[in-house]
Structure 1
Amino acid sequence: MTSLTEPNALPASPVDLLVVGAGVVGLAHAVEAHLRGLSVAIVERDAFAAGASIRNFGHICTTAQDGVALTYALAARERWLHLAGKAGFTLLESGTVVVARRPDEQAVLEEFAAARGADQVVLLDRAGVAEHLPTHDPEVVGGAHLPLDLRVDLREAVPALADWLVEQGVPIAWRTNVLAVGPGLVRTSRGDVRAARVVLAVGHDVDRLLPETADEAGMTRCRLQMLQVAAPGGVRVRPGVLTGLSLLRYGGFASLSAAEHVRTRVRQESPELLDAVVNLMFTQRPDGDIVLGDTHHYSHTYAPFAEEDLSDLLLREGARLLGVPKLRVRERWHGVYASAPGPFLDREVADGVRVVSVTSGIGMTTAHGLAAAVLDSLT
């Protein structure tokens, strides 16, 4: 991953908006401000975005959201479509397939389809699922296709978006730490920056700069176990794939009355899946490998040791989903994102200084919609 700017690319003159953090949320705010004609600069502590923004599935899971998250997700979808052409990264309008392997899971999807309508949810029988997912668990009973959902390859899209901003005249100071933030002034490890407005988009690291704000919001870190595995038999799967466990994670599903039956049954049959907070899902990268996940664990600080049992659990369930005896691992990693009781943190912490974080693991899906709302309140 490369950058078009040098590490010391701090603006010499005051800017309308300084964004701290060049992950998806920070870039979304910079894009929104730039498109509104504001002068913008970005400060990022790493040499490239290396956190949650490139450690997830690249799955823009629009349809499964609810409430304000759905509002943001629908707005973000339009922005992703616009930016793919501008910044030159690949975006797939392939939707999502939700695989139902029990009648209670299909019942959730039927309730969801009735609530959302045919433009958002297309119910599938087993043959319909097979058209999207040729290799699958023989216990599949049906599913649904969510056509509005999108996919990007994060290892391509996030750097491309940063480089496009630089081409538009938005400087990014990489490998630059923020030391202090106040009204109109940000002190960094490479010098001071003056800005009329500041957005702190530092993800799960709000407590590094603003511990009291993080504590008041109830923020912790959510650690995910993620795997990249070889596609069995070279199978190609264009849409993102969700499962019955996903029905317990995303608000649009989990709020439905039928979802509780799924939770009760999973607790009886496979309690280890709920104990590890598994959301069994995958996407396929351009090279054919499958990104498979994920488990969830919550803490302020983590020991650096990886539990192999979690990988084994994902490999077992992933192989079952794909209807194969086993999967071959190519890469393993931990994802980490900010978690709090509410899905978003948006708080003014000083005059003209906002801390903004997606605290629900849906940053890719909602960041551009959230950024538009934040900019509406700033300008």
Structure 2
Amino acid sequence: MHYDLAIIGSGIVGLGHAWVAAKRGYSVAVFEADSRPEGASIRNFGMIWPIGQPAGSARALSLRNQQLWQELGKAAGFPVERCGSVFLAHHEDEMQVLTEFADSASSRDLNLKVLNPAETLQHLPAANPNGLKGGLYSRTECRVHPPTAITSIVSYLSELPEVELHFETPIVKVHDGSIQSADRKSWTANRIIVASGAYFKHLFPEQHRNQQFKICKLQMLLTVPQPDQWKLGPHMASGLTLRHYSAFDICPTLTQVRQRVATTMPELDRYGIHVMASSTPAGELILGDSHEYGDDIEPFDKDEIDQLILREIHKVLQIPQASIARRWSGFYTKHPHEMYIFREIEPRIHLVNGFGGNGMTLSLAASDSVIEQLANSNQMS
């Protein structure tokens, strides 16, 4: 009942650490309170999204992360599609931001092409041609189907001799290399990683609060399967999304975009709404999303938010069958300044959290970095 590494949390962050550690030959245990992963890791677009990361360490981490997804997908038997992405511009200021970004030094490690309206429709035929000013195509982005990917990773890890998975095992106490579950079972490990995402209030709540994490709630939707094997193709992001990703903060015209939205559509800022879309293997479209933080979060979803998302989606996309089959909300933990947090909060116990909405884009590479640091300092054995 002793391991080199114990991980609390079976989202993509926890599973990523387990995979990387097992590749190095370490014995690993993963503990999860539920019967399967049910948090943010299965409630997202499945976008592996380097274009949204600012140039420098975050971008480099995202590109490394993309390589690791390809490796893990091949090992665990799930597809990682190199689909690319298209940002749509239906306003002149949005088109100017896309051009500024493509011309900047910070985009040189991306494979970008500025598109005129006709070229945009070639790359993304579903784009609404009414008022279309153009777009920005990136070949870099990838797609996974989150429920499929996470289920496949769990199945794959369960077959590895180095890994033990303990589902339906809520952990209530962690101290000095010892772990205790609610039913009084106990285990020990040389190192313990707490990767509990938004559900961190049961273990080390004070240490989590000290990191100034914010909880974010988002609402998302899923259409019915599209007819006649219709596919969206690349990921789609509208001009509203430029407000959300810090990679575009270098663009001078972004201020104008933000001011226009704040003046003409303040309801979108109120709920942190920007619109994106991605396909599923079954031909549905995942649509979203919104962002409510801290005390603004309520236990009930808002139909107003769903309607605003759909209103803005229909401005930029022509979807053959827009009926909604599913609606859900997700929660993630965001740090106000850092990409993510890796801290030793007690001897032999480490906190890894705070990825915000970038879990799929950064987590595998972050896991690789964390395990390498622990291994190089001889803390895993």
TM range (shorter): over 0.9
Could you tell me which amino acid in structure 2 is paired with residue 268 of structure 1?
Answer: T
> Does the residue aligned with 2:217 lie in a helix, a strand or coil?
strand
Which residue matches 1:125? 116
Give 1:255-274 correspondences, 5 Å limit: 255-274=250-269
Instruction: Tell me which of 82, 97, 108 is aligned to 1:93.
Output: 82
- The answer to whether the 8 A contact 2:80-2:144 is kept is yes
Could you tell me which amino acid in structure 1 is paired with residue 165 of structure 2?
Answer: I
**Over residues 317-362 of structure 1, what are the superposed CA-to-partner deviations in whole Å (9 max), with x where a residue is unaligned?**
1122214698311100001111231231221111111110133210
TM-score (norm 1): 0.92
Name stretches of at least 5 consecutive residues in structure 1 with no aligned partner. Answer: 1-11
**Over residues 120-169 of structure 1, what are the superposed CA-to-partner deviations in whole Å (9 max), with x where a residue is unaligned?**
21211112221232122212111111111100001100110111111112
CA distance in 1: counterparts of 2:94 and 2:34, whole angstroms = 42
Matched, 1:376 2:364: no
> Does the residue aligned with 1:257 lie in a helix, a strand or coil?
coil
- The answer to whether the 8 A contact 2:20-2:367 is kept is yes
Could you tell me which amino acid in structure 2 is paired with residue 274 of structure 1?
Answer: D
Which residue matches 1:163? 155
CA distance in 2: counterparts of 1:328 and 1:156, whole angstroms = 23
Which residue matches 1:7? none
Matched, 1:141 2:129: no
Matched, 1:252 2:247: yes
- The answer to whether the 8 A contact 2:240-2:275 is kept is yes
TM-score (norm 2): 0.92
Which residue matches 1:327? 322
How many Å apart are 1:289 and its aligned residue? 1.0
Give 1:1-379 correspondences, 5 Å limit: 12=1, 14-66=2-54, 67-115=56-104, 116-117=107-108, 119-137=110-128, 138-169=130-161, 170-190=163-183, 191-230=185-224, 235-299=230-294, 302-323=297-318, 327-342=322-337, 343-379=339-375
Cα pair distance change 1:175/1:318, threshold 3 Å? same
Cα pair distance change 1:110/1:333, threshold 3 Å? same
**Over residues 279-331 of structure 1, what are the superposed CA-to-partner deviations in whole Å (9 max), with x where a residue is unaligned?**
21010111111110001101269442221111111111112221469831110
> Does the residue aligned with 1:206 lie in a helix, a strand or coil?
coil
How many Å apart are 1:53 and its aligned residue? 0.3
Percentage of pairs with the same residue:
32
Name stretches of at least 5 consecutive residues in structure 2 with no aligned partner. Answer: 376-381
Residue-pair matches, total: 367
